[in-house]
Amino acid sequence: MLNDATGDFIRQLESCLPEGSLRAPEPRDLEEPRGRYQGRAAAVVRPATVAEVSQVIRTCAASRVGVIPLGGGTGLVGGQVMPEGPVPILLSLERMRSIRALHPQENVLVAEAGATLAEIRAAAEGVDRLFPLSLASEGTARIGGNLATNAGGVNVLRYGNARDLCLGLEAVLPDGTIWNGLKRLRKDNTGYDLRNLLIGSEGTLGVITAASLKLVPRPAGEGTAFFVVEDPAAALSLLALAQDRLGGLISAFELIGGTGLDFLTEKLPDTRQPFSPRPDWMVLVELGLPQGLDPAAALEGLFEAGLEAGLVSDGVIAQSEAQRAEFWALRETIPAANKRIGAISSHDISLPLGRIADFIAEAGPALAAIGNWRINCFGHLGDGNLHYNVFPVQGESRAQHQAAAPSIMAMVHDLVHARDGSVSAEHGIGRLKVEDLERYGDPAKLAAMRTIKDALDPLGILNPGAVLRMR
Amino acid sequence: MLNDATGDFIRQLESCLPEGSLRAPEPRDLEEPRGRYQGRAAAVVRPATVAEVSQVIRTCAASRVGVIPLGGGTGLVGGQVMPEGPVPILLSLERMRSIRALHPQENVLVAEAGATLAEIRAAAEGVDRLFPLSLASEGTARIGGNLATNAGGVNVLRYGNARDLCLGLEAVLPDGTIWNGLKRLRKDNTGYDLRNLLIGSEGTLGVITAASLKLVPRPAGEGTAFFVVEDPAAALSLLALAQDRLGGLISAFELIGGTGLDFLTEKLPDTRQPFSPRPDWMVLVELGLPQGLDPAAALEGLFEAGLEAGLVSDGVIAQSEAQRAEFWALRETIPAANKRIGAISSHDISLPLGRIADFIAEAGPALAAIGNWRINCFGHLGDGNLHYNVFPVQGESRAQHQAAAPSIMAMVHDLVHARDGSVSAEHGIGRLKVEDLERYGDPAKLAAMRTIKDALDPLGILNPGAVLRMR
C-alpha cells in the first residue's frame, strides 16, 4: 500500500533538489478539462534535468509515495489527476522544455518532454519541415504527455499516431534508473521494444523526459475542401475513391455531422458555415502534394469523380491559406460548441472502416429507444475514429439526464465492441475507462499488462490507479 | 533449469495433438543460412490451429521443455536454432498458412503466421493492393518470423519496418494463454502495446500465430533508376534533394559500392551491369507515384537537379517493367555474390544519416591497419542501414582469416556505437549478437528486458538463449 506524501516527505524531497524545484499545487494542476475529477497532491515537483527526475523517483520509491506525471493537463480520461487514495506528488515536466537538437537533413528533432506540441511544430517549421502530430490542444499539450498517451489527432491517416512519429526516448523507470534511448535511427532491432511499451502506458511504467521525433518534408502544396455527402457510407466510398486516385497524399479526412453544424449555429453563430441549408453530413478533405501536382486541380478532380459516382452533391474548395484556416477553424470549433451544449456522455471510439456505417445506422435507433437525445457524430473518419457524443434535446440540460449517462455509454460501447471496435481510440484509459478496459479487454492481454506493471513497478508508485486498478 | 524433450515427453505431446502433428527434424530445420549454428531438436511439432499451439506450449510448460518457434528459417542471427543446452522441440508454423480475411476497402489483410511473405504480397496484389514488406528471401520467409524479428527490407524508407505494417496479433503467451488481438483498427489506445512488445522479441515472449496487416494502395506508376555518385556523402545529399522534390514518394534508395559490382563480375559475370567502367558508388532509386505524375519525368528531373548540384555524374532510367526487374535483380544478387566470395565478418548496422559518410570514411582505414581486406558496403541508405561486410582479398580465402573475424567485428561495432548507431539494424539479436547487446545496450533497457522476460516467461521455455542469455 502506498503512503501519503507527508510534510516530512516533502521536506526530504526539497532537500535533495535545487531550490525552487517545488511549488504548491494550483487549481489548474488538480483539474482536468471536462471537470470529472478533482485531484489531490502534496506538491508539484518541477525537476529541470533527467538526473533530477531520477532523484525524485528514487526518493518516492524509498518512501513508497505515488507520483503523477503531469504534462499540459489536456488529457480527457483523468490520467493526470488522482482523486482518491494516498496523497501523491505531481511531477511536472514544465521546466524541461528545450529543443535539444534539430537535424533537418535527417528529418529528426530531439525535444524535452515539457515542450508543447506547438513549440515542436514551430521548431520544425523553422527548418522547413513538418512535425505532423496535430491536435486542437497543441498550444497547451506537452510532447511527453502526447507520447505517454499515444495521441492521435487529425493527420493520423497519413502520418500515424504519436508512437509512429517517435524514434527514441529518454525516460526514468520506476526504480529511478535512467534509460538513455534517444536514438535517431530508422532501423534498430536490438532487443525488446521498450519505446513502444512506454508510449501509451500513460506514465504507469516510466516518466518520459525527452524524445527524438520524426519530421517529414513539408508538402509543396496543400489544399482543403468541404464535400457534402449523403451519409457516412458515401463518405467512406469517397475516401476509397480518393485513396485510389491519390494514394498516401491525403493528410486528413474528417467527418462532420449536421448536429455539429446545428450546435455551431446555436452556440457560436459567428462561425461561417459553407453550405445552406446545412447538410446532414459533410467531410473535410485535406491534401498535401509534391511538386508537379496542383491541390486545387486534384480536389476538383476528386469532386467530379465523386459526383459521377453519386457520392458527393456539393463542395467548396478553399481558395487561399486564410480560407483553409477558416475551414479548419470550423472543424476545430465543434468541440467548443459541444462543451457549451454539455454532453451527457462522450465516446472516443474506433471501428473497422467496413463497420462504421452500420454502427452509425444502428446506434441512433438503439439510443432513441431509451430516451430523446441529440447525437453529434464527427471525427477522424479516415482512421475509423469517431467522437460519438450524446446530448440533451434543445431546452433540456445535461444535469437532467446525468442518471442515464452510464446506460448510454454501456450501450454505445457494447455496440462498438460487438463490431470489433475500440472504446478508446485516441484518448487512452486514464482513470475514466479502467472498468471499460476490464470489461472489453482481452483477458490474456490484461493479465500480461498486470504482470508487466507489477514486474517493472513492484511498489506501484507510478501513476497509481491509471490504466490498471490500484493494488 | 530446462529439461530435455525426452522420448516420453514427445509421446505425451503426440497424445494430445491430432495424428501427424509431429515429424522428425530434417537437416534444413536445424541449419541457418550462413551455417554458423547447428541446432538440435527432439521433434518438429506442427500445430494446425492456435488452440493446438496453446496445447503445445502448455505441455512444454508443464515439463519445462524449451520451444523454438520456426518460420521460414531465413533468419541471419541464429534465432531459429538452439545449438546447446537441454534439447528443445521446434514449433513450426508451416501448417498455419491461410489468408484468413481480405478487406481491400479497409486496406487490411489477416494472415496466419506460416504464410510466406510472397503469398501475402500475392494475395494483396490480387485485390489491387500492395503489402509493402519486401525482402530477398520473401519466397521462403514466413510472416510470423518477419514479425517476430521486425523485418526490414528495401521499402522501409517509405512504409516502415514490419512493426509499422501490423495492426494486430493473435499469439500464444508463455503460459499457453491465447491473446486474441487481431484488431484491424488504425487507432486503439486501450492499454499497453503488447503488439509491439511481441514484434521484435524473436519468439522469446510469445508465439505469433496470426496477424492483421496494413495494405496500401498500389502507386499508379513506378520508376527505377541507377545514378552514379561520387561517394556516400553525395548519395545522402541526393536523397535529401529527392525528398525535397518528392516528399514521401521515394519507395527505395539503395547504396551499391564498387566492390559489390566487382564481386558480381568475379562470381556472377552474367549479371548485366549498367555502367562501364564500374563506378565506385551508385544508388538505386525507386519512385511510386500517384496519377498525374510521370515516373520517368520525375527521375529525369531528379537527375538533372542532381547534375546541377554536382551530386550525380551518370544515370540510367529503366525503360520497361522488364528493365526495372533487371535493376532490382542486380541489387538482390549482391548477397549471392557475397556468399560465393565468403565474408570474414558481416555487419548489419545503422547510423544516424548525418554520420554515415563519416563512418564509411573512417572504418576503411581503421580496418586496413589490421590487415588487407575487401569491403563491400551496400544497403538501405535511406534508412541509414548498411550491410558492411568484410572479405579476403582476391586469391585468399575466408578460412585463412577467420581468426581475425572477432577483432574486425569489434572494430566495426565500436565505430558504429561511438556514432550512436545500432549493431543490429534489421536482423535482430538471435544468438549471434547476445554479447553485443550486453556490450552496447543501454543498461536500464537491458534490465527492463530481463525483468519483462522473467515476468512473462518465468520458466524460460520460449526460445531459450535468444536475445537474452539462458538462465
Same domain, B168 and B317: no
CA angle at residue A425 from A424 to A428, to 5 degrees? 50
Please name the amino acid found at residue B141: A
Same domain, B225 and B213: no
Q: What CATH number should be reported for the domain holding residue B315? A: 3.30.70.2190
Is B266 part of a structural domain of the chain? yes
Alpha carbon distance, N-terminus to C-terminus of chain A: 7
Distance CA A152, CA B185 (A): 13
Same domain, A211 and A238: no
Using the Cβ of B102 and the Cβ atoms of chain A, whether some distance falls under 8 Å is answered with no
Strand intervals (E) in A26-165: 44-45, 67-70, 89-92, 99-103, 108-112, 129-130
Q: What is the ipTM of this complex?
A: 0.97
Is B172 part of a structural domain of the chain? yes
Is B438 part of a structural domain of the chain? no
Is B425 part of a structural domain of the chain? no
Same domain, A386 and A297: yes
Our measurement of the distance from residue B323's CA atom to the centroid of its chain's CA atoms, rounded to an integer in Å, reads 26
Cβ-Cβ contacts under 8 Å, B351 against chain A: 185
**Partner residue facing A352 (CB), from B184, B248, B425:** B184
Domain boundary among A160, A190, A217: A217
pLDDT of residue B381: 95
Q: Are strands A178-181 and A221-229 parallel, antiparallel or unpaired?
A: unpaired
Same domain, A123 and A199: yes
CA angle at residue B361 from B360 to B366, to 5 degrees? 90
Number of domains in chain A: 2
Check CB contact under 8 Å for A443 and B177.
yes
A106, closest residue in chain B (CA to CA): B353
Using the Cβ of B309 and the Cβ atoms of chain A, whether some distance falls under 8 Å is answered with no
Same domain, B104 and B33: no
Is A376 part of a structural domain of the chain? yes
Is A15 part of a structural domain of the chain? no
pLDDT of residue A160: 96
Cβ-Cβ contacts under 8 Å, A352 against chain B: 103, 106, 108, 184-185
pLDDT of residue A471: 85
Domain boundary among B217, B250, B278: B217
Residuewise pLDDT in 10s, chain B (471 residues):
999 999 999 999 999 999 999 999 999 999 999 888 999 999 999 999 999 999 999 999 999 999 999 999 999 999 999 999 999 999 999 999 999 999 999 999 999 999 999 999 999 999 999 999 999 899 999 999 999 999 999 999 999 999 999 999 999 999 999 999 999 999 999 999 999 999 999 999 999 999 999 999 999 999 999 999 999 999 999 999 999 899 889 999 999 999 999 999 999 999 999 999 999 999 999 999 998 999 999 999 999 999 999 999 999 999 999 999 999 999 999 999 999 999 999 999 999 999 999 999 999 999 999 999 999 999 999 999 999 999 999 999 999 999 999 999 999 999 999 999 999 999 999 999 999 999 999 999 999 999 999 999 999 999 999 999 998
Rg (CA), chain A: 23
Asked if A204 and B193 count as a contact pair (C-beta separation under 8 A), the reply is: no
Is A334 part of a structural domain of the chain? yes
Using the Cβ of B181 and the Cβ atoms of chain A, whether some distance falls under 8 Å is answered with yes
Distance CA A68, CA A60 (A): 11
Same domain, B265 and B369: yes
Using the Cβ of B186 and the Cβ atoms of chain A, whether some distance falls under 8 Å is answered with yes
Cβ-Cβ contacts under 8 Å, A441 against chain B: 190-191
Asked if B279 and B258 count as a contact pair (C-beta separation under 8 A), the reply is: yes
Identify the domain containing residue B65 by its residue range. 7-94
Check CB contact under 8 Å for B385 and A200.
no
Check CB contact under 8 Å for B188 and A244.
no
Grid coordinates of B156: 522501409
| Per-residue model confidence as pLDDT tens digits over A297-321 | 999 999 999 999 999 999 999 999 9
Same domain, A204 and A308: no
Check CB contact under 8 Å for B200 and A216.
no
Is A80 part of a structural domain of the chain? no
**Helix crossing, B405-418 with B356-368: angle to 10°?**
150
Same domain, A249 and A104: no
Please name the amino acid found at residue A236: L
Which residues of chain A are modeled with pLDDT < 50?
none
Using the Cβ of B51 and the Cβ atoms of chain A, whether some distance falls under 8 Å is answered with no
Q: What CATH number should be reported for the domain holding residue A211? A: 3.30.465.10
Same domain, B186 and B140: yes
Domain boundary among B70, B94, B118: B94
Asked if A336 and A268 count as a contact pair (C-beta separation under 8 A), the reply is: yes
Same domain, A204 and A338: no
Same domain, A333 and A206: no
Distance CA B145, CA A191 (A): 15
Distance CA A118, CA A134 (A): 9
| Per-residue model confidence as pLDDT tens digits over A102-139 | 999 999 999 999 999 999 999 999 999 999 999 989 99
Using the Cβ of A152 and the Cβ atoms of chain B, whether some distance falls under 8 Å is answered with yes
**Partner residue facing A456 (CB), from B421, B441, B448:** B448
Using the Cβ of B345 and the Cβ atoms of chain A, whether some distance falls under 8 Å is answered with no
- Residue B61 has phi, psi (to 5 degrees) of -65, -40
